[in-house]
Amino acid sequence: MLSSSSISRRVGLAVVGAAVVASVAACGSNSATPKPSLIDSFTSKITAADFQASGALTGTYTMTVSGTAFNATITGTDKIHGKDSAMSMKLDVAATSATPASSTLNDSVDVGGFSYTRTDGGAWTKSAKTSDTTITTVISQVGLADKGVESHFNQQLHRLESTKPVPVSLMFSDTTGVTNPNLALTFWTKDDGTPAGMTMAATYTQVSSDSSGDVTMSLDVSFDSLSGVTIEAPSV
């Protein structure tokens, strides 16, 4: 599963020309300095070294194995502060005719060059951070285009979609047994370029030793607060 830092600080950059205020030739005045575009403003804010955000995770997950669909809902919280991040994600799987309902809680913290993970409130496991991919590094690979204003996160927001293929490593760098991956990213921003959240959608096939399943997933990450975010390493 994609870590918080992998989710929320990896954004593409598109260069959109800013409108130039026309000069008043008769008065001999010069043109005003062009205003930054919406995408330029959004990118400068979300790629800032001290960017902070916290909010909710909501989504859906479906894996189809041998004709049986296992449907789940995703809930949780997400925090970002610079290169550090913390995520708590709960996966509630609905019952099928052959299996009971189940629930799994995964916590992850990336701080100070180390990654910490645990499942269902168990002991934390510490390891060296294996990936340092951030929004800034993805900017050089993925572009954004403003697709207009839509209602999302109970707000009227600009929908910024990637214009180039999203690197598969963004989600699957630490996952084995994945084939045919396809990943899409959408970012949401206010009129002044203030980041409001993101949406990640993915399809892929997960292969294990004795079976395989086709997966469809959609995950919303809201940026409800952009300040006061603290992240500390858990005790191990």
Q: Is residue 235 part of a domain?
A: no
Q: Is residue 24 part of a domain?
A: no
Range of the domain at 110: 4-17+32-222
Do 146 and 158 form a contact (C-beta atoms < 8 A)?
Answer: yes
Work out the percent of the chain whose per-residue pLDDT is above 90.
56
Q: Is residue 85 part of a domain?
A: yes
pLDDT for 121 beyond 80: yes
The confidence score (pLDDT) of residue 133 equals 67
CATH code of residue 145: 2.50.20
Q: What is the pLDDT of residues 174-185, one digit of tens each?
A: 667 888 888 888
Average pLDDT over residues 188-212: 90
Q: What is the pLDDT of residues 70-87, one digit of tens each?
A: 999 999 999 999 889 999
Report pTM. 0.80
Work out the percent of the chain whose per-residue pLDDT is above 70.
79
Q: Checking phi first, is residue 83 left (phi over 0); if not, alpha (psi -120 to 50) or beta?
A: alpha
The C-alpha atoms of residue 204 and residue 171 are separated, in whole angstroms, by: 11
The confidence score (pLDDT) of residue 132 equals 66
Domains held by the chain: number:
1
Mean pLDDT of the chain: 81
Q: Report the candidate in 147, 133, 212 with the shortest Cα–Cα distance to residue 178.
A: 212
Q: Report the candidate in 12, 231, 45 with the shortest Cα–Cα distance to residue 135.
A: 12
Q: Which residues of 44-68 are buried (b: 16+ CB within 10 A; e: fewer)?
A: eebbeeebbbbbebebebbbeeeee
